[in-house]
Amino acid sequence: MPELPEVETTMRGLSPHVVGQEVTSVVLRRPDLRFPIAPEISSLSGSVIRGLSRRAKYLLMHFDHGSAVWHLGMSGSMRVFPVSTPLRAHDHVDFVLSSDRVLRFNDPRRFGSLLWTPPDVEHPLLAGLGPEPLSPSFTGSYLWKLSRGRRVRVKPFLMQQDVVVGVGNIYVTEALFLAGISPRRAAGFVSLAAYERIVAAIQSVLSSAIEVGGTSLKDFITPDGARGYFTQSLQVYGRGGEPCLRCGTTLRSAVLGQRASVWCPSCQK
């Protein structure tokens, strides 16, 4: 689930149900996720959620005295339910709201995190993050300059969160296909023109995924709303060994930087 579009969709979907709500109680069913849950979280009762925002794949939940910093990891999700909804496996955190609903965090693999940062202080995990991919500062020349001399392959390069945030394995795979660039190219040998195509492709893939996510996740109340996503639109991710939808060549797959990678050896150079 959680690359940037999923976090963005989660934030937009939650917003009308949680912003302005008082947290009447907090239930932590375990002390840690990937990291220990910040101690400030357990004393949030009585505080009002003033707003939500997103930075990279982090969802920030703002209160008057600071912000909860959520990360969904590989398998996390946040949903709003009627307060009496029975628990499922891996429901680790509840924020009970004054609306008599509950914001519930579920995460089977527990790679997610729930941290805290005081007002006007950037959490250490958020310091040093690269630009937002949908912001004007993310350009082909930015990537081109940053990558000079780098021998790492372009795919893992683009997945480094200090290069650009929010681009995970699915969307980088799709974007490189759209841009016609092989994921195995050394980052330092990709041309400026190619980086301009890559930036356009990343922005296009992320924007359309956000649009689709927005429709499939618009109802955060019902328990079965999280379906569909972008899966119908995937051109190459998960299709290794199958024919390229553009030219018919068999799609290649390999592990690059520990992550499954798929590309068309004919369309991507």
Partner DNA sequence: ATGCTAACCTGCGCGC
Partner DNA sequence: TGCGCGCAGGTTAGCA
Binding range to DNA, per CB under 7 A, among 1-9, 37-45, 192-200, 242-250: 1-9
Cα distance between residue 120 and residue 254, in whole Å: 43
Q: Following DSSP, what letter does each residue of 39-101 receive, concatenated?
A: GGGGG-TT-B--EEEEETTEEEEEETTEEEEEE-TTT-EEEEEETTPPP-TTEEEEEEETTSE
Marked catalytic residue, from 2, 5, 133, 183 = 2
Contact 33, 73 (CB under 8 A): yes
The token duo for 255 is: 């592990």
Cα distance between residue 218 and residue 227, in whole Å: 11
Is-catalytic flag, 86?
no
Marked catalytic residue, from 54, 57, 101, 252 = 57
**Interacting positions 175-204 with DNA (CB under 7 A):** none
Contact 8, 213 (CB under 8 A): yes
Question: For strand 91-97 and strand 58-63, is the pairing parallel, antiparallel, or unpaired?
Answer: unpaired
Q: Which of 55, 111, 142, 200 contacts DNA by CB under 7 A?
A: 111
Count of residues near DNA by CB under 7 A: 35
- Contact letters (x/-) for DNA, 235-264, by CB under 7 A? ----------------------xxxx----
Q: Which of 27, 152, 200, 245 contacts DNA by CB under 7 A?
A: 152
| Nearest to DNA of 17, 71 (CB atom) | 71
Q: Which of 77, 106, 169, 268 contacts DNA by CB under 7 A?
A: 169
CA atoms within 13 A on the CB side of 236: 35
Q: Catalytic residues, which ones?
A: 2-3, 57, 259
Residues that bind DNA (CB under 7 A): 1-3, 6, 34, 56-57, 71, 73-75, 89-90, 108-111, 125, 149-153, 156, 159, 161, 168-170, 229, 231, 257-260
